């Protein structure tokens, strides 16, 4: 595990494997892989077998959290790597309050997107 992986691992409270998500969504794992490929989810290799994992906070009510895809697009357009996006999404921000990932889950996506847009300035 690289240093950034250890940092991210510490920030993200829980992870799901792609097969776990496929089961929740009621789809084939290839569909979840497609979501990752399209940038709708971020997956990182972790653990002993280096399997792909997605932060559990990205899934709510058996679907991708509302506002996540748009936020990921904004961050990618700002030049963020997947690791930097995860770090930003899971780093606590006292002014938010909580983490951007928590705010998305609590339907406060407008504020999260506003902050993501401000990063480009």
- Interval 25-38 mean pLDDT: 96
> Cα dist. 51→1, 16, 18, 48, 110 in Å?
12, 10, 9, 8, 32
pLDDT of residue 121: 62
Dihedral, CA atoms, 66, 67, 73, 74, nearest 10 degrees? -170
Q: What is the pLDDT of residues 58-68, one digit of tens each?
A: 999 999 999 99
Confidence of residue 4 (pLDDT cuts 50, 70, 90): low
Q: What is the pLDDT of residues 68-95, one digit of tens each?
A: 999 999 999 999 999 999 999 999 998 8
Q: Is the pLDDT of residue 3 over 50?
A: no
């Amino acid at each position: 595990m690289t240093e950034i992986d250890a940092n991210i691992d510490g920030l993200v409270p829980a992870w799901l494997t792609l097969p776990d998500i496929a089961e929740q969504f009621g789809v084939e794992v290839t569909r979840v892989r497609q979501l990752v490929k399209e940038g709708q989810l971020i997956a990182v290799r972790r653990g002993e077998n280096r399997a792909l994992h997605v932060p559990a906070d990205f899934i709510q009510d058996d679907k991708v959290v509302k506002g996540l895809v748009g936020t990921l697009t904004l961050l990618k357009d700002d030049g963020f790597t997947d690791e930097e996006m995860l770090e930003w999404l899971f780093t606590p921000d006292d002014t938010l309050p909580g983490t951007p990932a928590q705010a998305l889950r609590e339907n406060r996506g407008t504020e999260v997107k506003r902050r993501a847009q401000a990063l480009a300035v």
